[in-house]
Homo-oligomer: A and B are copies of this chain.
Amino acid sequence: VICNVLCVGTELLLGQIDDTNSTYIGQQLVDAGITSYEHRRVGDNPERIEKALRDLLEVSDAIIVTGGLGPTHDDITREVTATVMGAELEHDSAVLENMKAIFARRNREMPQTNLRQAMVPKGATVIHNHLGTAPGLMCPVGDKTIYLVPGVPHEMYPMVTDTIIPDILSRGKATAIVTRTIKTWGISESSLAEQLDAFVQAGETSDVKVGFLARGMNGIYVKLSASADTKEQARAIIAPVEHEVLAVLGEAAYGFDDDTMESIVIDLLKKQGKTIAIAESLTGGMLSSRLVDVPGSSDVHMGGVVSYTKAVKHDVLGVQVRDVYSNECAEQMAQGVAKHLGSDIGLSTTGVAGPDEDNGHPPGEVFIGISTATDTIAQRFLLGGDRKRVREYTTITAFDFLRRYLSSFNLD
């Protein structure tokens, strides 16, 4: 089965937003073993949308189209698709009810313009949208299908994953492609490439391809992929290579696939029955916020103090040392927040986010502290990048520092 992708929206052509939708759809297709040869982007223009649909229908079994399903009159994907189908648009009362329910939940009047979103091409099947007003639509064209989904990512994701991928799979045989992602932190991408060069070279001629993907504050991913008739076979091909790669990576491998650094840290804390509180200077709440992202984190994450100013470090956290860019400050912040919030463990960040140096300390010089009932440690790191990047790298570096500490602690 070949499924290609069309993203509709003038804002994409103008570079006003990154097209992350086709990235997501590409990942879902490859995970399902569905081939994709081409992704296109066109603006909100009826002739060009129609031409793209007709072109892609010639080389695809299915097309996933994102965007242009909104209530405003430049949202014309529905109408153009109906033209390509040779079908009329019909009013769909179930879609209308869903829209009314959404507006009612928000205590708001439904504007008349939204009525357009209840128009469905005759012969199309509705994919209900519980998160927004634009329904997804499965539109048959001969033995092929055009799938229309909203451009809003969190509305689009479940439609693709839960409805469209299974529908495409029901139409033809797929090759099973399995990708295993090993997530790492602490080794640069070029060092990883060098250390794993033998595996990359072997992958050129063998079944297990090895690739790298730098994902900012989520670390660097090592991706092993293989294809076979079944997922089980593909997994069996990957397993021995994964084993060898993990031996090379050692402690730098922090998790797999859907793991995040935060989920790993929360799991370690839960296993050891320890609570945590966080004192943040340059990260300004980013660590706490990432932990709150993990469902169930409130079992171990008590909260924290954002001590962005020296006064708060001193008055609230009891920091005594004068130099806020020091291991001593990080230690006292970690001790202070654990005491102040009554947690077992304190974790702290302080340092220079940049863009300028401060009192002779360069941007990217950060100090991370850990305090427990019996132990207080801190370490200095030099991180690269602009202000945003330094703050993000500090976040993952701090979690990684705690992960390595808890892992060895647990072994004692």
User: Which residues of A are in contact with B by a Cβ distance under 8 Å?
Assistant: 10-20, 22-30, 36-43, 45, 48, 52, 55, 70-74, 102, 105-108, 110-114, 131, 133, 152, 154, 179, 188-191, 193-194, 197, 200, 211-215, 223, 278, 280, 282-289, 291-293, 295, 297-298, 301-309, 311-312, 315-316, 340-342, 353, 355, 382, 384-389, 391
Contacts and interface: CB of A to CB of B under 8 A. Distances in A.
Contacts of A30: 13-15
B41 A12 contact: no
Copies in the complex: 2
15 contacts: A13-B38, A16-B213, A17-B213, A37-B45, A40-B40, A106-B382, A108-B191, A284-B303, A285-B285, A285-B288, A285-B292, A298-B308, A302-B309, A303-B307, A316-B340
A386 B131 CA distance: 8
Given A26-B12, A74-B211, A305-B304, A190 B114 contact: yes
A77 to B, nearest CB: 15
Contacts of A292: 282-285, 306, 308, 353, 391
Contacts of A382: 105-107
A339 to B, nearest CB: 11
A38 B52 contact: yes
A141 to B, nearest CB: 21
A260 to B, nearest CB: 13
Nearest to A280: B285
A2 B17 CA distance: 21
Given A18-B19, A22-B41, A111-B191, 10 more contacts: A14-B36, A15-B24, A15-B29, A15-B30, A16-B27, A37-B43, A131-B386, A154-B389, A285-B304, A298-B308
Contact of A23 (B18, B105, B340): B18
Contacts of A18: 18-20, 23
Contacts of A36: 13-14
A110 to B, nearest CB: 8
A192 to B, nearest CB: 9
Contacts of A29: 15
Q: Is the interface of A mostly helix, strand, loop or mixed?
A: mixed
A305 B305 contact: yes
Contacts of A308: 288, 292, 297-298, 301-303
B291 A284 contact: yes
A17 to B, nearest CB: 7
Contacts of A114: 190
A286 to B, nearest CB: 4
Contacts of A304: 285, 305-306
A59 to B, nearest CB: 9
Contacts of A11: 211, 213
Contacts of A23: 12, 15, 17-19
A386 B295 CA distance: 12
A16 B194 contact: no
Contacts of A297: 308
A41 B42 contact: no
Given A301-B308, A306-B278, A342-B311, A295 B387 contact: yes
Nearest to A158: B386
Given A18-B20, A26-B13, A194 B111 contact: yes
A102 B10 CA distance: 39
Given A40-B39, A112-B194, A312 B341 contact: yes
